[in-house]
Amino acid sequence: MATLIAVIDDDESVRDSLRTLLRSAGYRVMTFESAGGFLESGARDGAECLILDVRMPGMEGPELQARLKQSNSRVPIVFITAHEDSLVRERVLRAGAVDVLSKPFAPQALLSTVQAALRKEEEDATNCATG
């Protein structure tokens, strides 16, 4: 079964374009317009990578990252943002995010980052199993 990527962004056009891009690369994709919607869906147990907007109404991306970390979730997170903020970037990377991409980003940059996130997840799972 194909890898499941969850896209969480309040902008419908971003969700639609990322769904199309990721599906064309062979991934299964679920999209959510809010962090709360993602948490309520039950998808967090099956998602192998999150693409998460930094700024959204309600719960913002860094808050979702913190909640997932508190629940011992190891799912890799790639943040996307239209509002570059070096302090937020530093904070989410320090908290374990794989990368922060500024909108608009090249499709190949996103796909490469997702592949790196999935490799990191595999390495972490292997290290946990052996260590």
Over its length of 131 residues, how does the chain's per-residue pLDDT go in tens digits? 789 999 999 999 999 999 999 999 999 999 999 999 999 998 888 999 999 999 999 999 999 999 999 999 989 999 999 998 999 999 999 999 999 999 999 999 999 999 999 987 777 666 666 66
CA distance 100 to 17: 18
CB atoms within 10 A of CB 61: 25
What are the b/e assignments for 10-49, b being 16+ CB within 10 Å? beeebbebbbebbeebebebbbbbbbeebbeeebbeebbb
CA distance 15 to 21: 10
Total residue count of the chain as it appears in this document: 131
Domains of the chain, first to last:
4-130 (3.40.50.2300)
Question: Cβ(19)–Cβ(7) under 8 Å?
Answer: yes
- Which pLDDT does position 130 carry in this prediction? 61
- Which pLDDT does position 120 carry in this prediction? 76
- Phi and psi of 67, rounded to 5°? -65, -40
